[in-house]
């Protein structure tokens, strides 16, 4: 019990003292009775009250002829708050696979080294030699696509850095290169180069622009 008197017994004592404060000797009996109830675990049992022929008030936890049951106020109760269980630690999300945007950050340079910007080419017979330079080397599955006048015309892979394009005739043309990943998406591109192809006219051998 831990030496603590239950709330119900305290209420009984208050009720008795309030109605019979002048009976000091009877209070001693009541106190002894309550102590016995606490020791015997009878705090939850019914309490009986009766008055004998001498006018002495008695209390007991056992029924007695002519006794009445003392109505005790309900004991105060206490509900413990629900204990919240700690949530298990969440696992860190796995890193997403590398995307084309992150791969693009690995390339630092892509240039067309031949033909040069604004270069004039004479009598190439429709065959254009193209050279590129890039850093670092191509990733596995990546390739470099060449665009002539906006149209894809050829592709370089691995360590290939030069190629010949056919059917490139007289006129001004634009050439650019673009790196594509394994999914065919463009991830890095060069600056466009503009060049001109000239052809010597056999009808004008005195043309000052004819190469010597």
Instruction: Tell whether 39 and 122 lie within a shared domain.
Output: no
Instruction: Tell whether 116 and 191 lie within a shared domain.
Output: yes
pLDDT computed for residue 17 by the predictor: 57
Boundary residue ending a domain (69, 88, 118): 69
**210 within a domain of the structure (yes/no):** no
pLDDT computed for residue 106 by the predictor: 85
Residue 9 — pLDDT band, cuts 50, 70, 90?
A: low
**147 within a domain of the structure (yes/no):** yes
Write the CATH number for 153.
2.60.40.10
Q: How many domains does the chain have?
A: 2
**29 within a domain of the structure (yes/no):** yes
Candidate from 55-69, 102-116, 157-171 with smallest mean pLDDT:
55-69
Neighbours of 132 (CB within 10 A): 19
**75 within a domain of the structure (yes/no):** no
**89 within a domain of the structure (yes/no):** no
pTM over 0.75: no
Residue 205 — pLDDT band, cuts 50, 70, 90?
A: low
Mean pLDDT of 57-73: 75
Instruction: Tell whether 38 and 106 lie within a shared domain.
Output: no
**186 within a domain of the structure (yes/no):** yes
Boundary residue ending a domain (51, 69, 87): 69
Boundaries of domain holding 123: 102-198
**188 within a domain of the structure (yes/no):** yes
Higher pLDDT pick, 206 / 113: 113
**87 within a domain of the structure (yes/no):** no
Residue 199 — pLDDT band, cuts 50, 70, 90?
A: very high
């Amino acid at each position: 019990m831990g030496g603590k008197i239950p709330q119900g017994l305290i209420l009984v004592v208050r009720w008795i003292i309030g109605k019979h404060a002048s009976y000091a000797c009877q209070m001693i009996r009541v106190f002894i009775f309550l102590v016995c109830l606490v020791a015997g675990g009878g705090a939850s049992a019914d309490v009986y009250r009766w008055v004998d022929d001498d006018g002495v008030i008695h209390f007991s936890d056992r029924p007695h002829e002519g006794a009445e049951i003392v109505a005790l106020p309900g004991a105060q109760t206490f509900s413990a708050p629900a204990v919240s269980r700690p949530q298990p630690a969440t696992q860190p999300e796995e890193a997403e696979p590398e995307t084309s945007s992150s791969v693009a950050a690995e390339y630092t340079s892509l240039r067309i080294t031949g033909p040069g910007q604004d270069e004039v080419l004479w009598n190439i017979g429709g065959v254009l030699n193209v050279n590129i330079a890039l850093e670092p080397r191509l990733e596995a599955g990546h390739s470099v696509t060449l665009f002539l006048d906006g149209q894809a015309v050829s592709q370089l892979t691995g360590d290939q850095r030069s190629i010949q394009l056919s059917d490139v005739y007289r006129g001004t043309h634009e050439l650019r290169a673009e790196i594509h990943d394994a999914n065919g998406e463009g991830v890095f591109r060069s600056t466009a180069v503009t060049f001109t192809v000239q052809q010597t006219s056999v009808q004008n051998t005195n043309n000052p622009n004819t190469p010597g």
